[in-house]
Structure formats: C-alpha cells, structure tokens
Amino acid sequence: MSVTQIKDGNIVSLSSTKLTGTIPDARFPATLPAISGANLTGVSFRTGIHVWKNAGQTVANNTGTKVTYTEEFYDPNNDWDASTSKFTAPEDGKYLITAGVRFSSGTNGYMTHLYFYVNGAAKTYSDNTSGSGTGINTTHTHILELSTDDFVEVYGNHNQGSSMIFEANSTTGFLFNYLAIQRIA
C-alpha cells in the first residue's frame, strides 16, 4: 500500500517500507534570538517570598509581638519589606502562607500562639503547648484571599510568665523561624 500527498508544496509518499519526499530545512541561525516574556499574554507568573530571622527577638509575656523576619531567601518581585516585616500582595488572589517560630525554653505547659495579620487585623492563628521545659516550635499554615496592596504580618505571643525569645538559627534560619508566601490562584 502506498499514499502520496501534496502538502505545503512538498510531495510526500508513504509506503509500508519507507518515507520519501522533501523535508523542509530545519537549520537554525548561528545564534538563537533572545527569549523575552514581554509579549506573553495569558501567562501568570506566581508571586512569592521566603524570608527568615537571623537574630533572637524578645517577646514579653501575654503581648502580641510582630515577628521581624530580616533575611530574604526568595523575593523575586520585591514584595517583602524587611524594614517593616510586611508582605504586600501585588495582585488579587489566593495565597498559601506558612510561618514558624521557635520560642525559647520556659516552664512546662505554657501556650504559644502564631497569628497571621492582614491589613493590621488578626485573621488566623495556631497555638501549641510546651512540655519538659524545652523550647517550643509553633507553626501556622493557611490559605488567605488577598487583594492588591493587602499586607500580611506575623505575630506571636505566649503565657509563660516572663519574657521569652523568638530564637534564631545562626546559619540559615530555615529550621524554625521562617515565613513563606506563595500565590496559588
């Protein structure tokens, strides 16, 4: 069996044993042109940050304290302001937010809380209870609907009875004091 077809000025014959005809020239120029996203439409580049602490921070008993994440690991669009410890949403959308802090050791049974604030008001929180007088890691993850220019901050508090410290890792901070925000929809 054999099939002959004329397509775009080329004759192609197909038989059960071989393909014959003209194959268009597929050579590229010596250098490829630069690729730019400037003319892309309908493509949404995701917004996100990953920041952390490089120094301890005092947290008074029963006092909401803003966590000051001072170091940037990832912030391609400059959405994080380290001087105010705020993330500002560059566009409307749903954002996955996760944060963690480590409170220094204290007495057994004290509570720690970690809050996400949006535009200066608490929206969501998580808590944890200490044991054995050791430090306690408190983490929180939530999906929040944000509008353009909404800002997100992280606060923590405890009821240990005296001041504690948001501890910091001296090398990377990723072990327990971090904030990651990613636009997901």
**Is residue 2 classed exposed, middle or buried when 0-12, 13-18 and 19+ CB atoms within 10 A define those classes?**
exposed
Whether the CB-CB separation of 106 and 130 falls below 8 Å is answered with: yes
Report pLDDT for 2: 61
- Joined together, the tokens standing for residue 52 give 């952390």
- Joined together, the tokens standing for residue 116 give 């996400």
DSSP assignment letter at 63: -
To the question of pTM greater than 0.75 for the whole model, the response is: no
CA distance 60 to 161: 9
**Is residue 132 classed exposed, middle or buried when 0-12, 13-18 and 19+ CB atoms within 10 A define those classes?**
exposed
Dump pLDDT digits (tens) for 151-161: 999 999 998 88
- For domain 48-183, the CATH class is mainly beta
The type of residue at 170 is S
Going from N- to C-terminal start, the domains of the chain cover 48-183
Dump pLDDT digits (tens) for 19-53: 566 655 555 555 655 655 555 555 555 689 999 88
Please give the distance of CA 75 from its chain centroid, rounded to a whole number. 9
Q: What number of CA atoms fall less than 13 Å from residue 70's CA on the CB side?
A: 11
pLDDT at 173 over 50: no
Residues 6+ away with beta carbon under 8 Å from 12:
4, 5, 6, 19, 20, 21, 22
Strand partners, 3: 14
